[in-house]
Amino acid sequence: MSGTLFVVTAPSGAGKTSLVRALLERMHGLELSISHTTRPPRTGEVHGKDYYFVDETRFHAMASDSEFLEYAQVFGNYYGTSEAWVKQQLARDIDILLEIDWQGAAQVRRLMPAAVGIFILPPSRESLEQRLRKRGKDSEETIRKRLSQARDEMSHYGEADFFIINDDFDQALEELYAVVLSRRVQTAQQSQRHADTIRLLLS
Amino acid sequence: MSGTLFVVTAPSGAGKTSLVRALLERMHGLELSISHTTRPPRTGEVHGKDYYFVDETRFHAMASDSEFLEYAQVFGNYYGTSEAWVKQQLARDIDILLEIDWQGAAQVRRLMPAAVGIFILPPSRESLEQRLRKRGKDSEETIRKRLSQARDEMSHYGEADFFIINDDFDQALEELYAVVLSRRVQTAQQSQRHADTIRLLLS
């Protein structure tokens, strides 16, 4: 198993989704985790590409068999990350990126201590508020609630291995890229990947 | 102390010097370690920039006071890395890069466990031999001796935290850059550097 699981956490409004999208475009061998869900597929969504669509019976069976690294219920639907699926990808030397909140991240870390946690923070409360307001569709009450949730979420920044402040987008992207790339050249990873080269060098 | 000491090790012919030079040009806040030496200054060399030039009495006094992270004798001259100097730079949030052989790296690691070790390897024995021959000034016997020394040196690759195979120069440079940059966004480093931002975010 030479791939790495990267767990990315951020408060709503920190710009995580844009950063992750840009990173996936730039980087080979890094893929987004594909969740299992009980939510019905939307138009265009493909089983095994966007999600693994399963019914509730199957989902609960997987949960009761401890097959999920983490799972949660959102708006009545279940979403979970299959441990076996993640480990299959890592064994194929593919790095997996999982976007998740701090609670899910804590669960994953317990089950896979080698996972790398990355926290994305906004540069200030003001910028967070601006980004949340820019969406323009939320009531003042909703925005207040989201700001409060964001503060709770951010208070867990210290549990991640790395944190990146998304002030300048390009700089933040470069830092995110560096975290993934540097992991690939850690001695443990490289020794597996380049076992033949090393054997020849030292023969 | 939020800077990091990077210890770079490589066999002769792996291309370390070119990589390090390119990295220093590209990266702000990263500087080459300045050694103390008993070697007389060459034309153009500046005390405090290229080296700290000291006499043997002073050098031995520093050594006997355990002021060096590591020191060695090369062609009759002494070279040493002052622990106090390195720690001053790190305290100023400057990353320091030290080029050194595996034995020096081991000494540094014992005294500063937070130092990050990076090993640079050639892609093959053939490429190493080619690079050593290209210099065109060494006898066959010298080249054989260097290849043998290179093999000894390379056998210690596993002691470094990271290793980079210098097959494609640009790729190797990007990996080296990523190792340094990712270290800067580790939670321990960031928490110190952005203490004020964090306090405001969570207030």
Instruction: Kindly provide the ipTM of the predicted complex, given to two decimals.
Output: 0.91
| Strand A95-99 relative to strand A30-32, pairing | parallel
Q: Find which of B12, B180, B193, B201 to mutate to test the A interface (most A CBs within 10 Å of its CB).
A: B201
Of A77, A201, A98, nearest to B120 (Cα)?
A201
Report pLDDT for A136: 73
- Inspect the interface and report whether the beta carbons of B162 and A202 lie closer than 8 Å: no
Nearest residue on chain A to B186, alpha-carbon basis: A162
d(CA A201, CA A196): 9
Answer with the residue of higher pLDDT: B58 or B13: B58
Contact in structure between A33 and A96 (CB atoms under 8 Å): yes
Residues of chain B positioned with their CB less than 8 A from the CB of A158:
187, 191
Report pLDDT for A181: 97
pLDDT single digits (tens) B119-143? 999 999 999 999 888 877 788 898 8
- Alpha-carbon distance B33 to nearest alpha carbon in chain A (angstroms): 22
Beta strand residue intervals within B148-190, DSSP E: 162-165
Beta strand residue intervals within chain B, DSSP E: 5-9, 30-32, 35-37, 51-53, 68-74, 77-82, 95-99, 116-121, 162-165
Nearest residue on chain A to B183, alpha-carbon basis: A179
Report pLDDT for A67: 97
Report pLDDT for A1: 64
- Alpha-carbon distance A23 to nearest alpha carbon in chain B (angstroms): 14
- Of B161, B191, B198, nearest to A186 by CB-CB distance is B161
Compute mean pLDDT per 10 residues along chain A, 203 residues long, and list them. Answer: 92 92 96 96 95 97 96 93 96 96 94 97 92 82 90 94 96 98 95 93 90
d(CA B151, CA A198): 11
Nearest residue on chain B to A177, alpha-carbon basis: B178
pLDDT single digits (tens) B22-56? 999 999 999 999 999 999 999 999 999 999 999 99
Report pLDDT for B131: 87
Residue A2's contacts (CB-CB under 8 Å, 6 or more residues apart) are: A90, A93, A189, A192, A193
CB burial class (10 A; 0-12, 13-18, 19+) of residue B57? exposed
Query: What confidence category does residue B2 fall into, taking pLDDT thresholds of 50, 70 and 90?
Result: confident
- Alpha-carbon distance A83 to nearest alpha carbon in chain B (angstroms): 26
pTM: 0.93
pLDDT single digits (tens) B140-184? 898 899 899 999 999 999 999 999 999 999 999 999 999 999 999
Taking 90 as the threshold, does the pLDDT of residue B203 lie above it?
no
Average pLDDT (B58-73) is 96
Taking 70 as the threshold, does the pLDDT of residue B1 lie above it?
no
